[in-house]
Amino acid sequence: MATTETLWIGGEADKLYLQSGQFSSTLRSSESITAIDTGPEDISWDGVDVPWMGAADDKLYLQSGKFTSTLKTSLSVGGFETTPTGISWDGADTPWCGTFTDKLYLQSGQFSSTIKTSVSIAAVEATIRGISFDSVNTPYTGNTDVKLYLQSGQFTSTLKTSLSIIGVDSIPTGISWDGANTPWCGQEADKLYLQSGQFTSTLKTSVAIGGVDLTITGIETNDWNSRLSIPILTNVDPAVGSQGDTALVLTLTGTLFEA
């Protein structure tokens, strides 16, 4: 599966947004989250529900579907991080980040109170905004040096690479990975961007969304299978599988979950 939809979040209207493709000008859907948190910071997608981050109440949120008004759960992180700015999903746990401590965090599940690990990136970037996971490493972005970053693992202190994007947008606020390229967003030009690879200087495409929301704070692809490099089991052989059978013939193709 390729990216067919792009999720993003905005703080002007306090909404979750669903943009068609990568990227068309068509807005497919939106959902107000004003009653939940008036400081939305980032968004992700786990194949079923939408993790997002709010800085007004300093919480991790899990919104049902893409999108319903149902909030499935939330977790306060304000006891140790008062400026949370990014969230993602790695298939089992929740990577997130904050600028008060300048750290990358890995929260257990969706969401327990257990922090599995964290790493300070203050020596690299003092204003971290947005985080993702590519199945091996951790992309994030920051406002101080205006760069896209790739941190080794989850998490080591090794910075694998970075790319200055100050000539494109001086206020980057979110980042993702689609298996081949890097979606990111910025508030200076109020645009969604697609950067080639991880990371080349080639900007493949962009779309302005300032007519919808002037305070974009996060972005995510709906192709979470490619983002997490998940092998896919499909094409069950009907000659083998029947009710009560324990053996199924499976072929590794396609995607495990269609978003």
The per-residue pLDDT for range 25-49, each reduced to its tens digit, is 999 999 999 999 999 999 999 999 9
Q: Is the pLDDT of residue 214 over 60?
A: yes
pLDDT 10s digits, 126-181: 999 999 999 999 999 999 999 999 999 999 999 999 999 999 999 999 999 999 99
How far apart are the C-alpha atoms of 43 and 9, rounded to whole Å? 6
8 Å CB contact between 224 and 132? no
Residue 246: which pLDDT band, with cuts at 50, 70 and 90?
A: very low
Average pLDDT over residues 222-244: 63
Distances in Å between the alpha carbon of 192 and those of 41, 106, 214?
Answer: 15, 26, 12
Confidence band, pLDDT 50/70/90 cuts, at residue 1 = low
pLDDT of residue 200 exceeding 50, the answer is: yes
Global confidence as pTM: 0.88
| pLDDT of res. 243 | 37
pLDDT above 60: residue 99 = yes
For the chain, give the mean pLDDT: 90
Q: Is the pLDDT of residue 250 over 60?
A: no
pLDDT of the residue at 232: 52
Whether cis (ω within 30° of 0) applies to the bond prior to 80 is no
Q: What percent of the chain has pLDDT over 90?
A: 86
Phi and psi torsions of 18, nearest 5°: -125, 110
How many whole angstroms separate alpha carbon 226 and alpha carbon 240? Answer: 29
Q: Taking the CA of residue 196 as centre, how many other CA atoms within 13 Å lie in the half-sphere pointing to its CB?
A: 5
Task: Spell out the alpha helix ranges (H) of the chain.
Answer: 224-227
CA angle, residues 99, 50, 205, in degrees to nearest 5: 75
Q: Grade residue 238 by pLDDT with cuts at 50, 70 and 90.
A: very low
Indicate whether 254 pLDDT > 80. Answer: no
Question: How much is the pLDDT for 114?
Answer: 97
pLDDT at residue 231 greater than cutoff 90: no
Whether residue 244 is predicted with pLDDT greater than 60 in this model: the reply is no
Q: How far apart are CA 23 and CA 206, in angstroms?
A: 7
Domains of the chain: 5-228 (2.120.10.30), 232-259 (no CATH)
**What pLDDT does residue 10 have?**
97
